[in-house]
Amino acid sequence: MLVGATSEPGKLGYGIVENLAGFPGAVHFVGREAGVLLGRPVYARVESVPDPVDLAVLLVPAALVPDSLEACGRRGIRAVVIASGGFRETGDNGAALEAACLRVAARHEIRFLGPNCIGIIDTHVPLDTTFLRPSGAPEGPIAFLSHSGALVAAVIDWSRGRGFGFSRLVSLGNQADLTETDLLPAVAADPFTRVVTMYLEGIGDGRRFVAAAERAGCPIIVHKAGRSTAGRHAAKSHTGALAGDEVAFDAAFRRAGVLRASSTEEMLDWARTLAWAPPMRGRTVAVVTNAGGPGVVAADAVERHGLALADLADRTAAGLREFLPSVAGFENPVDMLASASPVDYSRAVEAVLRDDNVDAVMVIVAPPPRYVAKDVADAIVAVDRTKPVVVVTMGGPAVAEAREVLRSAHVPDYGFPFEAAGALGALYRRSTFAPHTPCASVRDPAVVVMPTGTGWLEQSAALKLVDGIGIPSVPTLAAITAEEAVRAAGSLGYPVAVKAEVPDLVHKSRAGGVLLGLDDSAEVERGFHTLSERHSDLRGVVVQPMAHGDVEIVVGVVRDEQFGPLVMFGTGGVDVERERDVAFALAPVTCEDMEYLLATTFAGRELSETAAAAVSEAIVRLGMLAAEHPEVAEVEINPLVVQPHGVLAVDARARIDSGPGSIA
């Protein structure tokens, strides 16, 4: 049912009328002008429409939408597309109208798409609720969910004549009710969908998205643009300073196996290979070419996308020698020379596909001077493609027919090797993704006594919190006078470290707030006075015995507005922000996250096995703390010193946010 139907050809409402005409079921129109549209009566009111109605599309002025929605609700309609604009995107009045729609929808248990969206297309039903010209979209295995309606229009138009198509397209509009996360499961479960692509400008509920993506059962490729507009908490820790918006997206996408493309074109390039090719079991690629230069470019591109040139087995080279000229290249890339015939292509591709050292094949077809490119494509298509095969058809008109042949046979083709290698790289990453498993390295989950209140804890309290979750920390005594400091030092035993307690001082060492290796009471007393002079806002000091270790690392927790708690791990010390040797993962961490944290940082790679186990346990505990206690806003242990038999937290900062009334 379309509410807002019109017979005026220039209007968007007429566009929707025309596109709905393709729907094989019953379509009803509601409009201000009574009469007949496409042979169907136009009703004046929603209430007058006969039959059960499954879906209503509203295209009436924004101010009238809540009433139309109310009428739909009374009529028992539970699914609505609000195509109208004029809501939150236009200011406060519009936002109020949007809120009114949500209230009506809640009352009638309506779920709606939009407002301010161009609707949905299902190419297989077919159903097209948009006003786009021409109607529908090329059919195919790719679903597209988009935060931008214009991109839906552009992507459909761009795909025409390019040999791929879509199962469903959804324009999400303002997402007042239904979001990308709500739509994802249904779109992924569509039997015609093999890959879900998404254009996102942000994600409302990050964790729910991650869970939905993990369960989706088909590859998801996201082009994410835009920055979080929510003001970021001014960073008061290295962890906070290093955790840009993108860090959380990357951690979440890694967890869920979502592939992140850097442009719309790349997203669609990858989608074709992911939809059409079998999984890629390893990272090796054989290149088969009829020209040397493109082979060199292909070899470069393969390595740039994290893949490797396969070492061909001797038997493969021997097989190739049977039919290729003796001056051909028999290593990888296999350079068949410009004289390569269609039969040479199919035999060479078959030969490298049989090679156990080969996980995928990139075939390059530079315009063959003595043959027709289309015949080469026919030969390639006839090969039994037991592993992924992508083809680079270099040129324009000379290879146009070859492209048609390849696309009809669902062999992904690209114009240059760079894009083809990128698609194989994405296929490899997706093929080797497995759902993460919880990290179970913690033996005795500690019971945490959470500090109350809001704001940054004092050092001694932060270290106590850390100690409380089972991360051993160096004994720490607070003192607010020189005398207390001397007494504390005496009870701990010399030498000691004396550290200034100054609110909001992040770079404490650099600011001269840390005195190390004080050997007797006189030095401690002098030290206390030095710190008093240096820091006018000194609240006191903490005294610790000197702690030594081989390596200093940093572990931390920060909270992202969209994805919640993240842990950070990396090289610690005073130069954390300069070294940038850190990695992030969603909290709580999984075994795969832990492997990633340790493998992608120098700090992780340099740990001994014993040390790695101790560090992992600390990270897991910190991750659990963050996941279970939302009031833990930010934690940083720096340095966490790695000692022969475990780790020791020497310095810690923690910010608690117990809700409204936060001071930080």
Q: Amino acid identity of 36?
A: V
* Strand pairing category for 220-224 and 259-261: parallel
Q: Which of 2, 5, 12, 104 binds a second copy (CB under 8 A)?
A: 12
Q: Which of 47, 67, 139, 265 binds a second copy (CB under 8 A)?
A: 265
Count of residues interacting with a second copy (CB under 8 A): 66
Window of 1-9, 87-95, 535-543, 558-566 that interacts with a second copy by CB under 8 A: 87-95
Q: x/- binding map, residues 560-599, to a second copy, per CB under 8 A? A: ------------------xx--------------------
Question: CB–CB of 538/500 below 8 Å?
Answer: yes
* Minimum distance from residue 573 beta carbon to a second copy (Å): 11
Q: Amino acid identity of 105?
A: A
* Minimum distance from residue 195 beta carbon to a second copy (Å): 19
What is the per-residue DSSP string for 527-586? HHHHHHHH-TT--EEEEEE----SEEEEEEEEEETTTEEEEEEEE-STTHHHH--EEEEE
Q: Which is nearer to a second copy, 262 or 386 (CB)?
A: 262
Q: Which of 327, 434, 440, 447 binds a second copy (CB under 8 A)?
A: 327
Residues in the chain: 664
**Residues 6 or more apart in contact with residue 62 via CB below 8 angstroms:** 84, 85, 86, 87, 94, 97, 115
* Minimum distance from residue 493 beta carbon to a second copy (Å): 26
Window of 298-306, 492-500, 554-562, 632-640 that interacts with a second copy by CB under 8 A: 298-306
Q: Which of 291, 358, 598, 652 binds a second copy (CB under 8 A)?
A: 291
* Minimum distance from residue 194 beta carbon to a second copy (Å): 22
Question: CB–CB of 519/494 below 8 Å?
Answer: yes
* Minimum distance from residue 396 beta carbon to a second copy (Å): 5
Q: Which is nearer to a second copy, 171 or 239 (CB)?
A: 171
Under rule CB under 8 A, residue 133 binds a second copy:
yes
Give the integer Cα–Cα distance in Å for 272 and 166. Answer: 11
**Residues 6 or more apart in contact with residue 89 via CB below 8 angstroms:** 116, 174
Q: Which is nearer to a second copy, 177 or 419 (CB)?
A: 419
* Minimum distance from residue 62 beta carbon to a second copy (Å): 11
Q: Which of 18, 190, 201, 404 binds a second copy (CB under 8 A)?
A: 201
Q: Which is nearer to a second copy, 70 or 335 (CB)?
A: 335
Q: Angle of helix 206-215 relative to helix 180-189, nearest 10 degrees?
A: 0
**Residues 6 or more apart in contact with residue 180 via CB below 8 angstroms:** 145, 147, 172, 198, 200, 203, 209
Under rule CB under 8 A, residue 418 binds a second copy:
yes
Under rule CB under 8 A, residue 197 binds a second copy:
no
Where do we find the tokens 């960073």? 235
Q: Which is nearer to a second copy, 419 or 636 (CB)?
A: 419
Q: How many CB atoms lie within 10 A of CB 112?
A: 25
Give the integer Cα–Cα distance in Å for 187 and 192. Answer: 9
Under rule CB under 8 A, residue 91 binds a second copy:
yes
* Minimum distance from residue 117 beta carbon to a second copy (Å): 11
Token pair in block for residue 122? 């299902």
Under rule CB under 8 A, residue 604 binds a second copy:
no
Sign of the torsion angle spanned by Cα atoms 614, 617, 619, 621 = negative
Window of 26-34, 211-219, 416-424, 455-463 that interacts with a second copy by CB under 8 A: 416-424
Window of 351-359, 409-417, 607-615, 633-641 that interacts with a second copy by CB under 8 A: 409-417
Token pair in block for residue 362? 């990139």
Q: Distance from first CA to last CA of the chain, Å, rounded? A: 51
Under rule CB under 8 A, residue 114 binds a second copy:
no
Under rule CB under 8 A, residue 15 binds a second copy:
yes
Under rule CB under 8 A, residue 154 binds a second copy:
yes
Q: Which of 290, 431, 476, 638 binds a second copy (CB under 8 A)?
A: 290
Q: Which is nearer to a second copy, 46 or 423 (CB)?
A: 423
Give Cα 51 to chain centroid, integer Å: 43
Q: Which of 415, 495, 545, 573 binds a second copy (CB under 8 A)?
A: 415
What is the per-residue DSSP string for 208-222? HHHHHHHHS-S-EEE
Stretch 358-397 residues interacting with a second copy (CB under 8 A): 366-367, 369-370, 394-397
Window of 18-26, 271-279, 292-300, 427-435 that interacts with a second copy by CB under 8 A: 292-300
Under rule CB under 8 A, residue 147 binds a second copy:
yes
Give the integer Cα–Cα distance in Å for 293 and 417. Answer: 11
Taking CA atoms, 143 is separated from 34, 156, 170, 224, in Å, by 37, 11, 8, 16
**Which has the closest alpha carbon to 137: 127, 151, 147, 145?**
127
* Minimum distance from residue 367 beta carbon to a second copy (Å): 5
**Residues 6 or more apart in contact with residue 444 via CB below 8 angstroms:** 470
Give me the residues that bind a second copy (CB under 8 A), please: 10, 12, 15, 86, 89-91, 131-133, 146-151, 153-154, 156-162, 199, 201, 223, 225-226, 262-266, 290-294, 296-297, 299-301, 304, 327, 338, 366-367, 369-370, 394-399, 415-419, 578-579, 602
